[in-house]
Amino acid sequence: MGKKGQSRGMNKNTLLKILLFGLLFGGGTWLFIHYDLIQFFTNRNKAIDFINSFGPLSVLVFIGLQILQVLFAPVPGEATGFIGGYIYGAVLGTIYSTIALIIGSWLAFSLARWLGLPFVEKAVRPTILQKYDYFMKHKGSWVVFILFLIPGFPKDALCYIIGLSHMPVRMFLVVSTLGRLLGTAMLSISGDMLRNEQHGPLWILAAVSLLAVVAAYLYRDKLLNLLKHKPPPLP
């Protein structure tokens, strides 16, 4: 009787997970097709017009787009962060983007923890999953913070991967939020500078950001190897 009850509970749980995954995937696909959201993530002017068209609700729409950007990891997050600064200014843009990134990161983390590896294998490219899975299993929160801090790393995909680890959700939210904060602020400041036509400082900031991204891309494997062989901190 006990085993049958457990089996029924597991079957219901599995069906619920499948239903949730289907709703998430189907709803996300419908949103992207119906509103042609790929263009909004890649075309600054269309994104700005689309968000502003909602008037007082534009903040909620912007936060919603940022959340979608995190959940659908292949979508570039830099575009929405920049747009937030352009529409709302450096300070509010950073605040709104941070709120959205916290919610989106928590959802990705929670989905991965609840639905498990089969779901993550569908949400994250196999090459990324293989490359970063080691750090989630063998390294601590300080390595996760560094990975979120460095530009060019697949931060949205990391949210799914970390969901498979034993890291507590509160620690994950603190580490991921602090790690993303500098990059989020720089994107918002860049968008604000463009809106105010501060082209000189904008070019300087863009050049510094580009150098950081290129350096992170060129030396990412060396950095990962360095982090892999560095002993973990004391508990």
Q: Is residue 172 assigned to a domain? A: yes
Contact between 91 and 143 (Cβ < 8 Å): no
Q: What pLDDT does residue 223 have?
A: 60
Q: Is residue 212 assigned to a domain? A: yes
In tens, the pLDDT along 181-226 reads: 888 888 888 888 887 776 566 556 555 555 555 555 555 566 656 6
Q: Is residue 221 assigned to a domain? A: yes
Q: Is residue 14 assigned to a domain? A: no
Residue 86 token pair: 């352009």
For residue 85, what are the domain limits? 20-229
Q: Which residue in 33, 111, 32 sits closest to 65, CA to CA?
A: 32
Q: What is the mean pLDDT of residues 127-151?
A: 72
Distance CA 215, CA 153 (A): 11
Residues of the chain above pLDDT 70, percent: 60
Contact between 144 and 167 (Cβ < 8 Å): yes
Q: What is the mean pLDDT of residues 28-46?
A: 65
Q: What is the pTM of this model?
A: 0.73
Q: What pLDDT does residue 58 have?
A: 94
In tens, the pLDDT along 98-123 reads: 999 999 999 999 988 888 888 888 88
How confident is residue 233, by pLDDT bands cut at 50, 70 and 90? very low
> Which range has highest mean pLDDT (10-14, 213-217, 229-233)?
10-14
Residues 6+ apart with CB under 8 A from 185: 90, 94
Q: What pLDDT does residue 1 have?
A: 47
Q: What pLDDT does residue 166 have?
A: 83
Q: How many domains does the chain have?
A: 1
Q: What is the mean pLDDT of residues 83-109?
A: 93
Residue 57 has pLDDT above 90, yes or no: yes
Q: Which residue has the higher pLDDT, 78 or 111?
A: 111
Q: How many other CB atoms are there within 10 angstroms of residue 122's CB atom?
A: 11
Residue 138 has pLDDT above 80, yes or no: no
- Virtual CA dihedral for 22, 32, 74, 152, nearest 10 degrees? -140
Residue 137 has pLDDT above 90, yes or no: no
CA distances from 225 to 45, 115, 129, 139, 140 (A): 40, 30, 16, 12, 15
